[in-house]
Structure 1
Amino acid sequence: MKLYSKGAWRGGDESIEVINPFDGQIVDTVPRATAQDVEEAIESAQRGAGDMKSLTGYERFEILSRATALLRQRADEIARTLSLEEGKPLAEALFEVDRSAQTLELSGEEAKRLSGEVLPLDGGKGVKNKLGFTLRVPCGVIAAIAPFNFPLNLVCHKVGPAIAAGNSVILKPASDTPLVSLKLVEILLEAGLPPLGISCLTGSGSLIGEKICSDPRVRKISFTGSKEVGERICAVAGIKKVTMELGSNCPLVVLPDADLDEVANLAVSSAYTNAGQVCISAQRLIVMESVREALIETMKPKVEALKVGDQLLEETGIGPMVRKSDASRVESWIQEAVGDGAQLVCGGERDGALMQPTLLDVATPDMRVCREELFGPAVSVMSVSSIDEAIRLANDTEFGLSAGLFTKDIDAAMRFAREVDSGNIHINWGPLWRTDAMPYGGMKGSGMGKEGPKYAIEEMTEMKSVVIHSK
């Protein structure tokens, strides 16, 4: 496929191979964008920002509504492409395409609801005969930098609100998974988006991503990825608005009154979906000692029943990780934990990019699998003796994106909600849950700002205060 910039599809002098992580076969190639491509994309995005701003909210709603319908029409084709380039099972890819359509649909609805408020100026001492109100206006040029793990829906969470708010967008997809982003651009253009309203540059984040983010003509950055890259972007961004959706290390706490079969089912889905390559995967299972052994016995057969293999086969529950090197890293972290005293309950084997779902017991907070973001199909069990200890361990991390608790004790649930430092708190569910309309974002090292179309639009607009002075 070609990249899209300056209102046209373009090739390049060098290309990047997009690889199926299961068998190493080339799915397609994309151009390797250059610094000159970035310069031209920013110049055209500035002109495109004027085109986008001139559209009414209803016109932007119509574009996104047509794009939603086109995405649903092409769901099977796009899901297969997504599965091939990312490695997630086809059923998960189809689910992601459906969610992506909902995200565009929600963004379109919000385009009709951009509003300000009347300001109570006469609440100020000595203020009379003044009428004040606010206006929301587009930021201008938005940089949307997306990760590989949800290469369509997380792109829609950036591009959809940016369009709804009247901005132009420079989209930089992950180098491993650029194809569905390019297909989304095809759909948006077919739906009537102004040709300069979007660019999609494929290539190295260290080269083109940094150049995009450091340019003062880019007025807003929306980034999803690692904490290390997020910190680098913030360092070079200068004075502009940023939303950072960064890493995590999500805890799932289990108290003695929980339904252990329900916990086991939801812990498995929270830990191993997309081969664990989800920033809100359950990574640390913090369990009261009185039920720890029973929970592990309940979970073990469920984990062992997960079939690992070719993501396009219907029976596959876990596909390959996106890169062989990532699977090798996860394997080494597991081996390191076992060497430090953790017990391997099941899993732990690797074949290329395929990593067997792994359950570790007797983990300790100082182990890397419990301290850093694993981003792979393994969960580590730690035991505690009180809710106080459970909350302390849940907070014993630099991250704070999502956390879950299973209990029937409303007092314990409310304590957990108030005291755990996490942007998303789930009671009687795992941390891996999100509906696309909700505000979504982290605390501490997990980032700043919120996604969800309504909330992202607030981040992608500027507020003006208007005061009318009368005699």
Structure 2
Amino acid sequence: MTPLQSYIAGRWIGQQPAQALRSAIDGSVVAHTHAEAIDFAEALAYARSVGLPALAKTDFQQRAAMLKALAKYLGERKEELYALSFHTGATRADGWVDIEGGSGTLFAYASMAKELPQSGNLWPEGPQIPLGKTGAYAGTHVLVPRGGVAVHINAFNFPVWGLLEKFGPTFLAGMPCIGKPASATSFLTEKLVRLINDAAILPEGALQLVIGGTGDLLDRVQEQDVVTFTGSADTAAKLRSTPNLVRRSIPFNAEADSLNCAVLAPDVTPDDEEFDLFVKEVAREMTQKAGQKCTAIRRALVPADRIDAVAARLKERLAKTTVGDPRLDSVRMGALASQAQQADVAERVTTLRQGAEVVFGGGEGFAPVGDGIAEGAYFQPTLLLAQDAAHHAAHDVEAFGPVSTLMAYQGLDEALALAARGKGSLAGTLVTKDAATAVKAITAMAATHGRLQVLDRAAAPESTGHGSALPYLKHGGPGRAGGGEELGGLRAVKHLMQRAAVQGSPAMLAAVTGEGAA
């Protein structure tokens, strides 16, 4: 079996197999990583000497047109990606989020470019600010390409979207990219990059692919480069402290798994439509992608007098969730990405069960559907009920799978305090009918959350859901969530450019920026 290959310096590298990558469905070998070491000095030099000059010959609008063409090309070949996506454990619906969500993000960034300059690579951030008494001297701000390389290190759960949601704004900003997917699902990312290369739409050197480890890559990046990471908080902390990154003050953007919460407000009763919306939201976040989303609801906060009703309805809904081979139409939840992930989730659930009641799950009677799947990485949806909400391990320990913990609270103030115990989250949901409750809760929760959803019956018909990271809204959060920002519309492009203040006469500034003098 020919191993997966890295795409480095304009050529595919890798002939000798190394690590076996197994199907999440049945444990069979899908691919191998390659044993050959990558010359990261060559990869960076190629990005600087070939990728940067090629991108410098294009402007914002030309790059946007390429993104649009690439998105269309990938959309026409999505079935090739879906065929491999099943082996990551994803159902067709899960794959849609990853595959079509990825190309959709490229379409979105191509569309956003209408707000960018119509020519050139200087993005004015006016207005001009007078700096003297007579108006003869002023200042303004501009954004320009950094002149460096972006290194994007991704997690295993979104092997297509994970690369494309970073690549889109990076390419629009005029930076060549080196993408490194997590090994477990890198066979899908490699297929994606082969399709991108076959399209022959991008300038040479715009995108390189690393299969396997990063070696000494982070020791070789320079001041004008950028490093981004998606994955665990522990790995983010380790990479962030790489001496070369610290010494050179290289921007490091982290988006880390976090202990996100959903809050059922005290004004919602079991008879309200919002009550069922809360139950559906928690159940969906537990089972979509088998709970392997950095935004998934890990803590469900419920008024103490309604905790039994919520537990009963969630148990009923989870019992109807068919788990098994994701290729089967009847299956609603597939497998975890790997057996290693299966073991990790099981270990963390053991910790979470201390001081908690098992509402649903626990492994008893669990029988995934499908033929020949005994070696698959399946895990039963598991719902726990914390006996002491304020001190339960769910505020510190994350089982990155179909696992959530119910927590009872007395009064909204206690709920807000519990929400903050996550020490920084990517996403949170508040289910309420009351505007005053929303004002109080969102004002408090926004300090520790990157994105918040207020869900009621009015929003429900068009709600994109608690866990959906949208290209137009910020993705990232403080503290444990990594302290970084991705997406957020054109904010993501700005993060990848260099901002400079420029001073001079109003006429000269107008000439530089292409905007009229103040």
Q: Could you state the TM-score of these two structures normalised by the residue count of structure 2?
A: 0.84
Aligned length: 464
Specify which of 155, 171, 177 is matched with residue 179 of structure 2: 171
User: What is the aligned partner in structure 2 of residue 109 from structure 1?
Assistant: 111
Unaligned segments of structure 2, at least 5 residues: 117-122, 269-273, 367-373, 457-464, 509-518
User: What is the aligned partner in structure 1 of residue 501 from structure 2?
Assistant: 465
2:7, 2:13 within 8 Å by CA — same for their partners in 1?
yes
- What is the deviation of 1:138? 1.7
**In 1: Cα distance, 2:404 partner to 2:75 partner:** 34
1:285 matched to 2:285: no
User: What is the aligned partner in structure 2 of residue 134 from structure 1?
Assistant: 141
Name the CA shift for 1:50/1:32 in 2 (closer, same or farther; >3 Å). farther
Deviation per CA, 1:120-177: give whole Å up to 9, x if none: 331x344632354433222220001111111111211111111111110011111111
**In 2: Cα distance, 1:397 partner to 1:256 partner:** 21
User: What is the aligned partner in structure 2 of residue 195 from structure 1?
Assistant: 204
Name the CA shift for 1:390/1:398 in 2 (closer, same or farther; >3 Å). same
- What is the deviation of 1:318? 1.4
1:386 matched to 2:406: no
Aligned partner letter, 1:169: C
Deviation per CA, 1:98-133: give whole Å up to 9, x if none: 2111101122234454331334331x3446323544
Name the CA shift for 1:332/1:462 in 2 (closer, same or farther; >3 Å). same
1:211 matched to 2:236: no
Specify which of 407, 425, 441 is matched with residue 452 of structure 2: 425
1:323 matched to 2:359: no
- What is the deviation of 1:191? 4.2
Name the CA shift for 1:418/1:191 in 2 (closer, same or farther; >3 Å). farther
1:347 matched to 2:361: yes
Aligned partner letter, 1:319: G
1:264 matched to 2:279: yes
Name the CA shift for 1:105/1:462 in 2 (closer, same or farther; >3 Å). same
SS in 1 for 2:425: coil
1:441, 1:447 within 8 Å by CA — same for their partners in 2?
yes
Aligned partner letter, 2:180: K
**In 2: Cα distance, 1:216 partner to 1:171 partner:** 17
Specify which of 241, 245, 258 is matched with residue 235 of structure 1: 241
Structure 1 stretch displaced more, 109-118 or 220-229 = 109-118
Aligned partner letter, 2:356: A
Please list every run of at least 4 consecutive aligned residues from structure 1 whose deviation after the TM superposition is greater than 6 angstroms. none
Structure 1 stretch displaced more, 303-312 or 429-438 = 429-438
Name the CA shift for 1:329/1:6 in 2 (closer, same or farther; >3 Å). closer
Deviation per CA, 1:361-407: give whole Å up to 9, x if none: 23434333342222111111111110011001111122321111111
2:386, 2:392 within 8 Å by CA — same for their partners in 1?
no
2:223, 2:250 within 8 Å by CA — same for their partners in 1?
no
2:348, 2:397 within 8 Å by CA — same for their partners in 1?
no
- What is the deviation of 1:285? 1.0
1:437 matched to 2:475: no
Name the CA shift for 1:33/1:107 in 2 (closer, same or farther; >3 Å). farther
Deviation per CA, 1:320-375: give whole Å up to 9, x if none: 1112232223223333443x332111112177621100111234343333422221
SS in 2 for 1:307: coil
- What is the deviation of 1:37? 2.3
Unaligned segments of structure 1, at least 5 residues: none
1:363, 1:380 within 8 Å by CA — same for their partners in 2?
no
1:80, 1:90 within 8 Å by CA — same for their partners in 2?
no
1:9 matched to 2:8: no
User: What is the aligned partner in structure 2 of residue 367 from structure 1?
Assistant: 392
Question: RMSD value over aligned CA atoms?
Answer: 2.2
Q: Could you state the TM-score of these two structures normalised by the residue count of structure 1?
A: 0.92
Q: How does 1:41-80 map to 2 (within 5 A)?
A: 41-47=43-49, 48-80=51-83
Aligned partner letter, 1:438: L
SS in 2 for 1:448: coil
